[in-house]
Every structure is written in C-alpha cells, then in structure tokens.
Structure 1
Amino acid sequence: MINLFRTYNPLNILWLGILLFLLRVGYVYNAPAKIDFTYLEPFARMLAPKAYHYDFPPLVNITLAALLVFGQALLVNRLTNQFGLLGKPSFLPALMYVTLSGLFTPFLVLSPPLVCNFLLIWMLYKLFDLYKGDDAKSITYDLGMIVAVGSLIYFPFIYLFLSIWAALLLFRPFYWREWIIGIMGYATVFFFLAVIYYLRDKLPEFSDIWTPLASKFPTHVSITSYNYLILIPVVLIFVLGAVRIQQVFFRSYVQIRKSFQLLFVVFLITGLSFYVKAQFSLTHFLLCVVPLSIYFAYYFLYAGVRWFYESLYFILLAGIVYFQFNTF
C-alpha cells in the first residue's frame, strides 16, 4: 500500500477513493439513527438564522463528510508537493490524510472542525507564501480574515491566529506593520458582526463572545481505553517521523526546515485549543490531521525497511476498521 502511494501516479486517486470507502463502511453499519450538523457558533447564528443546522439522514451525512475529506486530502497533497516539503512528489500526504481522518468514529460525520480544515489548508498555502512573498502585508491581512471566519464556524479556530505570528517570526525579518495588519484583518470580520449585533439591539452581548477564552485548561481529557489503543500506532509513527526529520534536518533547505517547524507549531495550537469548547468532542482533533498527515507522509516516504513500515501502516488501518465494527 505504502509503496503504491510513494509514486506520483494519478491512478492513486482511484485507490484513495476505495480506501476512503473502506474506512467508512464499518461506521455506516453501526451509524446512529440521527446525526445533527450545526456549522456556526451560537454567537454567529444570526448570520444564517434558518440555515445553520441540518438534520441529514446518516448515510447522506457520512457521504458528504467523505467527499469533504477526499477533497481536502487532494488539497493537502497538492500543498505538500507544490512547496516541496517532502523533497519529491507523491500521494502519501493524501493517503495519510484519508487514513487519519478515519481514526475515530466522530471524525466520520460532518462537523465544524471538518469544514474548518478547508480554511486551515488555505491558511497553510498563504503562510508558506510568506517565505518568498513580496507583499506580506496583504497576505497577513487575508490570514487574519480567514481566522475570523473560521472562529465563526468553530470558535477554537481563533487560536490559529498565533500561527500567523509564528510564520512571521520564522519566515520574515521583524516588521511591526506586518504583525499588526493581521489583527486588522481579524477585526474587519468581527466589525461587521458587531454591526449586526447593533442593528438587532444586542450590542451589550457582543463582548460575551470571548468569554470562553478565560476558561481554565483541563488537567485531563476523558476518552475511552479503546481510543488510547488506536493511538498507539499513531504515536509510534509520529515519533519515528520526528526522528527521521531530525536526522536530515540540517541537511534540508532552510525553507523546508522552517516549514516543518511551522507545521509543528500549527499541530500544537490545534491540539491544545480544544478546551475553549464547553462540551469536549473528539471531532476537535480533526484540525490536527492536516499537519500530522504531512509528518506521517515524510516518514513513510523515507522509511527504509519495507516489511516494517508496511506492517505498521496495516496495523493502523486494521485498528481503525476493527473499532468501527466493534462499538463495545
């Protein structure tokens, strides 16, 4: 499987679609009778008063989510190859994205974090452009607006604003206007939201939007022991990938080194920002899939012992399918 996707062959798109189906067929078998999908935060629902909530039949919901994942996988693959993050083109980033997006059953349905992954991928295109971009101010302004739109859909996305400053720190010499203009881009979107609050005579409630940011960071996250089991190969692949990247880190181009540093920052931000939501859901960690899939692709592209890396991927794949058919 891994060797097949190591090559940049358009036929891999077909195999990607087959794998996408196989990673969801178990959940379709055990799907609940009703799956709700709400894509706007409560404070932003006045923007679409009658169109922010959908109650799709389970099969339709899962199919739409699969189509979004498929499109995102191809975009992540294009992003990775366009900026040369792996050194040579392949379909491994798309393979890893499809695989990791099926890790937990909550990942398999429509959710705000899944929608926000399109915005995160768009952000990464622009963040990497900062390295050689001549007009960084317009890029950072656009990035601020993207983060604002994302936080209307899923509020923890607001923390990805830190990735803009991280990219400026890594890619650009310090220029204070570039650091400020991102805030202006973010404020532009919320200015129009404030106008709507004002027109509806709800302006005093506008300041309550940022109340969740003052929430205390939890000391633990409650997930089932079966979730921990499926994370074992994930952690192992991540560690092996990090070791591999470290081995060739200083032999890589400066842009590639800094890009992977930025991806690690994005991974940390997306992973740690879950606490802003009062009701914890594993769907939040879909945001981690974008940077993680590129790390995983790097490991599998340069791993040397075929029986080991193929077996490791098979264990991950088999574990995902097994826990979909067994809900315990």
Structure 2
Amino acid sequence: MINMFRTYNPINILWLGILLFLLRLGYAYDAPPRLEFTYLEPFARLIMPGKYQFAFPPLFDMFLAGTLVFIQALLVNYLVNQYGLLSKPSFLPALMYITLSGLFTPFLVLSPPLICNFLLIWMLHKLLALYKGDEANSITYDVGMIVAIGSLIYFPFIYMFLAIWSALLLFRPFNWREWVIGIMGYATILFFLAVAYYLSGNLPLFSTIWDPLTTKFPTHVNINYYNYLVLVPVIVIFVLGIIKINQIFFRSYVQVRKAFQLLFIIFLIAGLSFYVKAEFSLTHFLLCVIPVSVFFAYYFLYAAPRWFYESLFFLLLVSIVYFQFNTF
C-alpha cells in the first residue's frame, strides 16, 4: 500500500476514500445512540446568536466528520507538495492524515479540534510563505486573526499564537514590528468580541474568558492504559521518522529544515495545551495529527526494506480497527 501512495497518481484519491470508510466502519457498527457537537466556546456565544449544540444522528455525524477529514487530508497533501517538504510529490501525507485521524474513536466524530485543523492548515500555508516573502506584516496580522478565531471555537488553540513567533524566529531576521503586528491581528477579533459583550451588558465578565489560562498543568491524568496500546506502532513509526529525518536533515534545503522544525514546535504546542480544558478529552490531540502526518510521510517515503515498512503500516491499520471493536 505504501508504495502505491509514494506516487502522485490521482487514482489514489479513490483509495483514500475507501480507506477512510474502512477505518470508520468498526465504530459505525457500535456507535452511541446520540452524539452532540458544540462548535463555540461558551464565552464566544454572544457573537453568534442561535443554537451552539447539535445532536446529529450518529451515522450522519460520522459522515460529516469523515468528509471534513477527507478534505483536510487533501489540503495537507497539497501543502506538503506545494512547499516541497518531501523530495517528490506523493499522496503519503494524505494517507497518513486519514490513518492517524482514525486512531481513537473520539477522533471519528465532529469536534471543535477537528474544525480547528482547517485553521491550522491555513496557518501553515501562510507561515511557510514567510521564508521567501518580502513582506511579513500582512501575513502575521492574518495569522493572528486566525488564531483568535480558532480560540473562539476551541480555547486551547490560543497557544498556537506561539507558532507565529516561532515561525518569525525561524524564517525571518528579527523585526519587532512583525512580532507585534500578530498581537494586533489577535486583538482585532477580541475587539469585536468585547463589543458583543458591551452591547449585551456583560462587559464586566469579559476578563473571565482568560480564566482557563490560569489552570495548573496536571501532574497526572486518570486513563486506562490498555486503551492506548494502539499508540505503540505510532510511537515506533514516529521515532523511526525522527531518526530518518536526522540522517538526511542537513542534506535538505534550508526551507525544508526550518519547516520541519516549525512542525515539531506545533506538535509540542498542540500536545501540551490539552490541560486548558477542564475535562481531559482525546479529541484535543487531533491538533497533533497534521505535523505527525508529515513526519510519518517523510519516513515512509525513504523507508526500506519494503517488507518492514509495509508490515509496520499494516500493523498500525490492524491495531486501529481492533481497538475500535474492543475497549478494556
């Protein structure tokens, strides 16, 4: 399967759709009777009157989520190929994104982090353009607004603001105006939110939107470790990917090296910002899927021998399907 997706053949789009369906079949067989989807944080609901919670039929909810994942996979694939992050065009990034988006059953339904992945892809398009761009002010302003919009949908997304400064540090010589204008972009969205609070007579409550940032980082999380055995092949592939990147890192173009550094920073930001939400939820880690997908694609593009990497990927697929049918 990996060899097939190493080529940039449009027929692979059909195979991506088939794989997407198969990876969600197990959960569709035993889905809960009701799935609710809330698309705005409580503090942001003043700016959009109406209902913020939808209870879709489970199969329709999964269909919408699968459609979004499919679109996002193609966008990630386009992003990687456009900026030449791999040595040649392929459909490996899309394959890895669809696979990792089916890793846990909470990933298979609509959720705010899934919506925010569209914004993260948009951010990456703009941030990677900083390397060769002559003017960065408009880009950083736009990305600041994107982060603000994302934080209205899913508050931990606010930490993606650190990715803006990381990109400026990696791609641009220091210019304090470029660092400040990102804050201005974020403040623009906050201004409209403050106006909504003022018009509704809730302006004294505006400062409470920052309360989650005071949450202490947890020292432990109560989880059932048997449910996370599916991560074993993921960790193995990720480590092998890091090793492979390290082997040929300095033979890559400077832009590619800096892009992978930015992706790793985004992975760390996404992974460590889960604690902002009061209740631990696996859906948060959908924000990690984009950078991890690119690392996986890089490994499988250069991996050898064939029997090993094909077996490793097959093991990952089998474990995902197995844990959809089995909970401990």
With the length of structure 2 as denominator, give the TM-score of the two structures.
0.99
The one-letter code of the counterpart of 1:38 is: T
2:118 partner amino acid: F
- Deviation at 1:261? 0.3
Q: Within 1, Cα distance between the matches of 2:135 and 2:59? A: 45
1:41 positional shift: 0.2
Aligned to 2:107: 107
Matches within 5 A, 1:18-33: 18-33=18-33
Q: 1:24-63 maps to which residues of 2 (within 5 A)?
A: 24-63=24-63
* Equivalent residue number for residue 202 of structure 1: 202
Give the counterpart letter for 2:311 in structure 1. Answer: S
Report the AA paired with residue 282 of structure 1: L
Once the two structures are TM-superposed, the CA of residue 184 in structure 1 deviates from its matched residue by 0.1
> Where do residues 103-182 of structure 1 align in structure 2 (5 Å cutoff)?
103-182=103-182
Structure-1 residue corresponding to 2:14: 14
Q: Distance in 1 between matches of 2:227 and 2:91?
A: 27
Which amino acid counterpart does residue 60 of structure 2 have in structure 1?
A: V
The residue correspondences of 1:260-271 to structure 2 (distance < 5 A) are 260-271=260-271
Structure 2 equivalent of residue 94 of structure 1? 94
Cα offset, 1:27, TM superposition: 0.2
What residue is the counterpart of 1:183 in the other structure?
A: 183
Secondary structure at 1:120 match in 2: helix
Aligned partners of 1:2, 1:29: CA distance in 2, in Å?
27
Shift of 1:74: 0.2
Q: Match for residue 281 of structure 2?
A: 281
1:275-320: CA deviation from partner (whole Å, max 9, x where unpaired): 0000110000000000000000000000011111001001110000
CA distance in 2, matches of 1:61, 1:289: 20
User: Deviation of residue 327 (structure 1)?
Assistant: 3.1
Aligned identity (percent) is: 75
Q: Deviations over 1:9-36 (max 9, x none)?
A: 0000000000000000100011000000
**How far 1:75 moved relative to its partner?**
0.2
Q: Structure 2 CA distance, aligned partners of 1:107 and 1:227? A: 14
Q: Residues 117-145 of structure 1, C-alpha deviation per residue, up to 9 Å, x if partnerless? A: 00000000001001011120000000000
Where does structure 2 lack aligned partners over 5 or more consecutive residues? Answer: none
Task: Give me the whole-angstrom Cα distance separating, in 2, the residues matched to 1:257 and 1:111.
Answer: 32
The 2-side partners of 1:45 and 1:327 are apart by: 35
Q: What's 2:72 paired with? A: 72
Question: For the residues of structure 1 that align with 2:257 and 2:206, how far apart are their CA atoms?
Answer: 41
**Partners of 2:294 and 2:145 in 1: how far apart?**
25
Deviation, structure 1 residue 220: 2.2
Q: 2:225 aligns to what?
A: 225
Q: Distance in 1 between matches of 2:46 and 2:3?
A: 49
**Would the aligned equivalents of 2:227 and 2:327 in 1 still touch at CA under 8 Å?**
no
Residue 247 of structure 2 aligns with which residue? 247
- What is the aligned length? 328
Q: CA RMSD in A?
A: 0.7
SS in 2 for 1:54: strand
Contact in 1 for aligned 2:5/2:95 (Cα 8 Å)? yes
Deviations 1:217-265 (A, max 9, x none): 0112333223321000000000000000000111111100000000000
Alpha-carbon distance between aligned partners in 2 of 1:284 and 1:183, rounded to the nearest angstrom: 24
CA deviation profile, 1:38-89 (whole Å, cap 9, x unmatched): 0100000122232321110000000000000000000000000000001110
